Amino acid sequence: MLPEAWGGGYTDDRWHSATVVRVHPWGARWSVWRWHDGAAWRPEWYINLERIEGARSHAVTSAEIGAFPFRADWTAWIPDPDWPPISLPPAWADPAPDLRAR
């Protein structure tokens, strides 16, 4: 649901919080987001319903039974702090560069 006052625009900004890791299990209609503050995983979890129909019950059941990624070893997902930031490819914001050439 979108806020009524939102005009559809956005603001370029820099993320100033803990790093977010988003896991979208193959074929699932939901994804799990977790935050890492540089020293440890924060206790919060966020379940994003990618496609609403049936997603909530499937995500809740997955969490309750401890399906992936809820019982995953999250410590294995932390990059080496000496790695440099990854650069985006030059045309990352172009939605379909191959279609314009046709």
Q: Identify which of 76, 80, 18 has the alpha carbon closest to the alpha carbon of residue 45.
A: 18
Mean of pLDDT over the chain? 82
d(CA 24, CA 78): 17
Q: Which of 76, 2, 63 is nearest to 30 (CA)?
A: 63
Question: Could you tell me the two tokens for 58?
Answer: 């499937």
Contact 30, 58 (CB under 8 A): yes
CB-CB contact of 32 with 47 (8 Å): yes
Strand locations in the chain, DSSP E?
19-23, 30-36, 41-49
For residue range 5-22, list pLDDT tens digits in order. 777 777 888 878 888 889
What is the pTM assigned to this prediction? Answer: 0.58
pLDDT score for 64: 93
- Local confidence band at 34 (pLDDT 50, 70, 90 cut-offs): very high
Residue 73: the pLDDT is: 86
Query: What percent of the chain stands above pLDDT 70?
Result: 87
The domain ranges of the chain are 15-73
Give the confidence band of 26 by pLDDT, cuts at 50, 70, 90: confident
Provide the pLDDT for residue 18.
85
| 30-36, strands of its sheet edge to edge | 19-23, 30-36, 41-49
